[in-house]
Amino acid sequence: MVLDHTLRDLVFYSVGIIINITLHEDSRVAILEKEIVVPKLIEVLRDSNIEDIDLSKVAAKALHNMTQVKDEFKSKMNDYWTNDSINKLDEVLQNLGDELDSIMVSNIILLI
């Protein structure tokens, strides 16, 4: 619920807490089992995008932490990372890459 909040700082610090919790392997699996966390983090990344790069970075770090599981849990990764979540993350990252490309091109044009 907190990840849906409109107060940016509340979302930012909540994602920070998720990062801290997911530094511990056992906690990471417990959070992954809450099937709502990965999709919500993807939404945070999508909503923050380039406009709030700090929030984008913490959301990306939390998502990265969610991919690091013990070997014994790797067979369950498809349960934790659904095709829908992977497709949404791919779309978000593609859009982010496109935005970064646009910014780079604009900056190069300004330099010329």
C-alpha–C-alpha distance, residues 38 and 76, integer Å = 14
User: Average pLDDT in the 16-35 region?
Assistant: 87
User: Average pLDDT in the 19-43 region?
Assistant: 87
pLDDT for res 112: 66
Q: What angle do CA 45, 6, 39 make, to 5 degrees?
A: 35
The structure tokens 């849906």 sit at 4
Q: Mean pLDDT of all residues in the chain? A: 85
The number of residues making up the chain comes to 112
Q: Please check whether residue 54 is in contact with residue 13, taking contact to mean a CB–CB distance below 8 angstroms.
A: no
pLDDT digit string, tens, across residues 41-60: 999 999 987 788 899 999 99
pLDDT digit string, tens, across residues 11-23: 999 999 999 998 8
Say which residue, 69 or 91, is predicted with more confidence.
Answer: 91
User: Average pLDDT in the 87-111 region?
Assistant: 84
Indicate the pTM of the whole model.
0.80
pLDDT for res 45: 92
